[in-house]
């Protein structure tokens, strides 16, 4: 393999940044020489991350079926696989959900960055491993891209990096870990990592605008060092956050009230104007900009979008259609039905329900457990689970055959190959699934 010289690598990178439309709206703040100097002599390939980023970028730039990508948070890898089967075009991976029920600390936390920092990258890797297995099973059955029933399992994953779990170096290393695990996009927020909160909690503390920008630069730099066009999303919590660590940044000074808290934080005037000031500041360094809000408000979304687009025309936006909103208390049925279309028209091309996966999981588990505990036993399993599963087959649902879904047939095939073409220990032969579900 021919290795490019440093000078050739620098020239190639400079040419890509200058000519590739992908980077037309991106500002970096460092040079191609910086990237090449710090990437090492051998450049590994990060295929899942690279393909996912390219796929997601195409989707948010007009390639999505609806004209925008609508995703929701997966709580397990199997749940992400079902999203692919059902026809969604991307997966969201929520730090809130990982904190609650999927972290490497193996306990339950609120969304306050209390879990181990490797938890989200670990879940990204688990999801991609499940996608890979599902694809192997499908390919082993002779189903090819373009065939009826073919599923593109490798959905791009947008992962939550919280506030970076520290400073710019923490953000840099976390981004590298996300990419190595196969994330297509990663978002960073502008809260103080030490006291980070869910966007719909109180007590949020902002860092100075410049510090937040530097974390975005760190994320982009990590992606460039790894040679992957990862989607960088910038989130601001400035609509609700009314505390700030320092008044050193000129961009923040118009909102500083002069009051201090017992911890030494500065009180600031939260709201639309503060959110706009930060969205505009982040836009050159991010691929998509997201303002966390307290209610589903198209008017607010419009004003924010117009301000960002006035400063950075064409910048893509993202929106959290959160379960923390009481939707019917804020909107009527017609407004709810058109909400995502209305957002898309304003430039919000990646929309997601952060916590849908955990709500689906916990609610449906409770409903069945309640009936099973207090009712007529197996009657409730057949009525609430098995018969609806049978009915969902016509939509492409296949987990009725749960042994095959997780790879029993695939590993039967592996066994047969290893044993020279025949085997008496195949798992599906003689199984209840083979006898009763076909």
Cβ neighbors of 408 (< 8 A, separation 6 or more) are 427, 428, 431, 433
Ligand-binding site membership of 57 (annotated): no
| pLDDT at site 408 | 85
Whether 143 and 22 share a structural domain: no
Domain containing residue 250: 45-353
State phi, psi for 281 to the nearest 5 degrees.
-70, -35
Whether 407 and 303 share a structural domain: no
Ligand-binding site membership of 21 (annotated): no
Whether 153 and 258 share a structural domain: yes
* Per-residue model confidence as pLDDT tens digits over 350-399: 999 999 999 999 999 999 999 999 999 999 999 999 999 999 999 999 98
User: Exposure pattern of 262-283 as b/e (b: 16+ CB <10 Å)?
Assistant: eeebbebebebebbbbbbbbbb
Hunting for tokens 């339950």 — which residue is that? 108
Ligand-binding site membership of 354 (annotated): yes
Q: Where are the beta strands (DSSP E) in 2-105?
A: 69-72, 91-93
Report how far residue 357's alpha carbon sits from residue 368's, in angstroms, rounded to the nearest whole number.
17
Whether 414 and 348 share a structural domain: no
Which of 205, 25, 184, 36 is closest to 112 using CA atoms?
205
Does residue 307 sit within a domain? Answer: yes
User: Exposure pattern of 302-336 as b/e (b: 16+ CB <10 Å)?
Assistant: ebbbebbbeebeebbbbbbbbbbbebeeebeeeee
> DSSP characters for 276-320?
HHHHHHHGGG-SEEEE--SS--HHHHHHHHHHHHHHSTT-EEEEE
| pLDDT at site 201 | 86
Does residue 313 sit within a domain? Answer: yes
Q: Is the pLDDT of residue 431 over 80?
A: no
Whether 208 and 308 share a structural domain: yes
Ligand-binding site membership of 324 (annotated): yes
| pLDDT at site 2 | 64
Does residue 393 sit within a domain? Answer: no
Does residue 370 sit within a domain? Answer: no
CATH of the domain at 220: 3.20.20.60
Report how far residue 270's alpha carbon sits from residue 34's, in angstroms, rounded to the nearest whole number.
37
The one catalytic residue in 198, 248, 291, 312 is: 198
Total domains present in the chain: 3
Ligand-binding site membership of 235 (annotated): yes
Whether 344 and 405 share a structural domain: no
Does residue 186 sit within a domain? Answer: yes
Whether 36 and 174 share a structural domain: no
Report how far residue 402's alpha carbon sits from residue 378's, in angstroms, rounded to the nearest whole number.
19
| pLDDT at site 27 | 98
Whether 35 and 61 share a structural domain: no
Whether 49 and 197 share a structural domain: yes
Whether 317 and 424 share a structural domain: no
Chain mean pLDDT for the chain: 96
Report how far residue 301's alpha carbon sits from residue 309's, in angstroms, rounded to the nearest whole number.
12
Whether 105 and 226 share a structural domain: yes
Ligand-binding site membership of 422 (annotated): no
* Per-residue model confidence as pLDDT tens digits over 191-207: 999 999 888 889 999 99
Pairing of strands 316-320, 348-353: parallel
Pairing of strands 91-93, 157-160: parallel
Report how far residue 199's alpha carbon sits from residue 196's, in angstroms, rounded to the nearest whole number.
9
Report how far residue 241's alpha carbon sits from residue 266's, in angstroms, rounded to the nearest whole number.
11
* Per-residue model confidence as pLDDT tens digits over 251-299: 999 999 999 999 999 999 999 999 999 999 999 999 999 999 999 999 9
Say if CB 69 and CB 89 are below 8 A apart: yes
Of 319, 353, 387, the last residue of a domain is 353
Ligand-binding site membership of 160 (annotated): yes
Which of 247, 246, 183, 191 is closest to 219 using CA atoms?
183
198 is catalytic: yes
Say if CB 198 and CB 111 are below 8 A apart: yes
Does residue 359 sit within a domain? Answer: no
Whether 32 and 67 share a structural domain: no
Does residue 374 sit within a domain? Answer: no
């Amino acid at each position: 393999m021919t290795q490019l010289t440093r000078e050739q690598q620098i020239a190639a990178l400079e040419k890509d940044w200058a000519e590739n439309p992908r980077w037309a709206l991106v500002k970096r703040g460092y040079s191609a020489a910086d990237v090449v100097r710090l990437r090492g002599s051998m450049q590994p390939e990060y295929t899942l991350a690279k393909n996912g980023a390219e796929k997601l970028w195409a989707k948010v730039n007009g390639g999505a079926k609806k004209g925008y990508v609508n995703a929701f948070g997966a709580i397990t890898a199997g749940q992400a696989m079902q999203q692919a089967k059902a026809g969604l075009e991307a997966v969201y991976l929520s730090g809130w959900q990982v904190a609650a029920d999927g972290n490497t600390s193996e306990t339950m936390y609120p969304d306050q960055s209390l879990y181990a920092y490797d938890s989200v990258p670990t879940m990204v890797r688990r999801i991609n491993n499940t996608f890979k297995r599902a694809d192997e099973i499908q390919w082993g059955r002779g189903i090819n891209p373009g065939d009826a029933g073919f599923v593109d399992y490798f959905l791009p994953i947008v992962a939550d990096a919280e506030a970076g779990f520290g400073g710019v170096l923490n953000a840099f290393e976390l981004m590298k870990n996300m990419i190595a695990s196969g994330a297509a996009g990663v978002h960073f927020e502008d809260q103080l990592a030490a006291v980070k909160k869910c966007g719909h909690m109180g007590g949020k503390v902002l860092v100075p605008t410049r510090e937040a920008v530097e974390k975005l630069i760190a994320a982009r730099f990590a992606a460039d060092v790894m040679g992957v066009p990862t989607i960088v999303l910038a989130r601001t919590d400035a609509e609700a956050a009314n505390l700030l660590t320092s008044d050193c940044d000129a961009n923040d000074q118009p909102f500083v009230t002069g009051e201090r808290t017992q911890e030494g934080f500065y009180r600031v005037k939260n709201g639309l104007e503060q959110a706009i000031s930060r969205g505009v500041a982040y836009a050159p360094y991010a691929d998509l900009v997201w303002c966390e809000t307290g209610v589903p408000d198209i008017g607010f979304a419009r004003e924010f979008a117009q301000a960002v687009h006035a400063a950075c025309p064409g910048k893509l936006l993202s929106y959290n259609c959160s379960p923390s909103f009481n939707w019917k208390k804020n909107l009527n049925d017609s407004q709810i039905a058109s909400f995502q279309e209305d957002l898309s028209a304003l430039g919000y091309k990646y929309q997601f329900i952060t916590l849908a996966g955990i709500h689906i999981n916990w609610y449906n588990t409770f409903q069945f457990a309640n009936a099973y505990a207090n009712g007529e036993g197996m009657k409730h399993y057949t009525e609430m689970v098995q018969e609806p599963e049978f009915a969902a087959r016509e939509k492409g649902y296949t987990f009725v055959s749960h042994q095959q879904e997780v790879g029993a047939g695939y590993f039967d095939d592996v066994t047969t190959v290893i044993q020279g073409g025949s085997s008496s220990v195949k798992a599906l032969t003689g199984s209840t699934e083979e006898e009763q579900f076909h």
